[in-house]
Chains A and B, each alone.
Chain A
C-alpha cells in the first residue's frame, strides 16, 4: 500500500512537472521563434547553449545550478537581498526540470514553426494585423500542436528528473522528494522492494498517459500534413 509520503511524492512530481512546463512555455516559444526565423550572428552559439542540457549528465546540470543558486553561489547575494530561498526547496526542483526539459520544448515548437509558410504572417499584416495580433492569430494556432507536443515531452522528462533534482532540491520526504527520489530511497533500504515496485507502476502509468497524448498529437499532425 502507498503511504502518505508516497502520495506526496507523486503529487509533488506532477506539480513540479506542471510548473516547470508552464513557466517555460513563453520563453520556449520565444527561443524557438528566434531559432526558426531569426538571422543573427551567434545563432549557432544560442543553439548549442539551449541544447546543452540534452547531452550533459543531469548531475552536471545540478552541480552547475548549485554553484549558481547555492548558499555560497554566484547569485546568493542577489537572492538574499530579495529574500528568496531556492536551494533545497521544491522550487529548486522546478528550476532543475526547467533547465533539463527546455531543449525538448524548444525543439518541438521550432519544428512546427519552421513548417509554417512565412508569407502567412506577411499576408496577415497587410490585412490589418499588428505584430502581436499576427503572433496570436497565426503563429500560435498554427504551431499549437508543436507547443502541446513539446509541453507533453517536457512534462514527461520532468517526471523522470533525478540527477539535477537530488543535488539542488535534496531528498526530503514530504517536501522535496519527487517520485524518482522516493523510489531511490525505497530501493536503497532493505525491505523496500514492494513499495519501490508499486511506485514504479505509478510512474510507468503516468508516463504512458503522457506519451500516449504526445503520440496522438504527432499522428494527427502527420495525417493532416498528408491530406493538406
Chain B
C-alpha cells in the first residue's frame, strides 16, 4: 500500500499542514493529543475537506484541491475504527457486521463474514443487541464491521485508548492476527509508543500539526527514551517455554531466561523495564536474581541525568537504564563485556 498525503486545514487556532508518503501495510501515526492525528483521519476518510493539498492511495487520487477532486467517503473504501465502537444501536451484532458488507460492491468483497466472525470469536453474539456487549466485545464487532466493508485501507484511530490495560493487550493479538489473515493494510493512530511498537513498523511522527519525522517504531522508542520520565520498555518475544522449579524458562539470546508467570504455549511478548536491569562489570558470583546474562555494550544514549545502555546478548538487544554517574563509575564503553542481572519477577507478560 502506498499512501501519498499532503493537506492543509485551519481549525480555529490550530493548523494542520502535514505531508508524508508512506509505504507498507502497517503504518503508524504517532503524536500527542492535539497534534492533528484526528484531522488526518478525517481528511483521509473524506469526512473533513482540507483547505488544500492532495491525497492519493495506491495511485488513485482521493482528494486534490487544485484539480477539484474530492471523493465522498462512501467511494473511498477507507474504513475507520474509532476510539469508541460507535455500533449502530438499532441493529444486532450481525446487522452491524453486515452493514458495510452489503454496501461493498460484490467485485470488491474480499473478506467473508464467516471468517471474520470466526477470527474475532463473535459467533455466540450474532443475534445479540449491541448494548448487551462488554466494551471489548463491542470493539471487536466494530473491527469486524470495518473489515467486512473490504477496505483498501483501515484507519485505527486510537482504538485501544478507551480500554483498560489487560483488555487492551488481549485485543492487540486479535488485531495483529486479523490484519495478517485478511491482508488489509492499516494505519494505526495512537499517542502510546508501546502500542505503536506492538502494532507497526514504520511511524510518521506528528507534532503540532506538522510531520516531525518518519522513522522505525523501535528507533523512535530508543530516541524517545526518558521523555516524560518514563522508562524504556524492552519487548521480548519468547516462545516454547519449559517449566523448571515453578518458573517458565525460555530460550533467548543464546542462553535462557527464567520468568515467573508466563508458561503459555506459543509465542508471548514480555515487557521488561530498562530500570529493572542491574549491571555488573565483573561476574558477581552469587546473586538473588534468577537471570545473569553475559552481554556486550553496543552504545550508550545519554538523557537528562540518566544513560540508556544498549546491550547485545547473542543476537538479541536490550536496553538497561542507569544513572549517568553509575555509567561513569562503571566506565561503560562500546564493545566492553558486562553482566546484566534480571529478577524472574521483572517480566510482565503483555501479549
Contacts and interface: CB of A to CB of B under 8 A. Distances in A.
A122 B47 contact: yes
Contact of A126 (B47, B84, B131): B47
Nearest to B47: A122
B80 A123 contact: yes
Contacts of A128: 74, 77, 100, 103-104, 149
A10 to B, nearest CB: 37
Given A130-B72, A133-B103, A227-B131, A125 B47 contact: yes
B90 A130 contact: no
Interface residues of B, number: 25
Nearest to A118: B86
Nearest to B131: A228
A100 to B, nearest CB: 32
Interface in B117-155: 131, 145-146, 149
Interface size class of A (residues with CB under 8 A): 20 to 34
Interface in B12-70: 45-47
B98 to A, nearest CB: 10
A141 B146 CA distance: 21
Contacts of B90: 141-142
Interface string B193-205: 0000000000000
B100 A127 contact: yes
- Main secondary structure on A side of the interface with B: helix
B169 interface: no
Contacts of A119: 82, 84, 86
B89 interface: yes
Contacts of B47: 122, 125-126
A133 to B, nearest CB: 7
B216 interface: no
A129 interface: yes
Contacts of B104: 128
Interface in A122-168: 122-131, 133, 137-138, 141-142
Nearest to A124: B99
6 contacts: A126-B76, A127-B74, A127-B145, A128-B103, A133-B103, A228-B89
Interface of A: 117, 119-120, 122-131, 133, 137-138, 141-142, 227-228
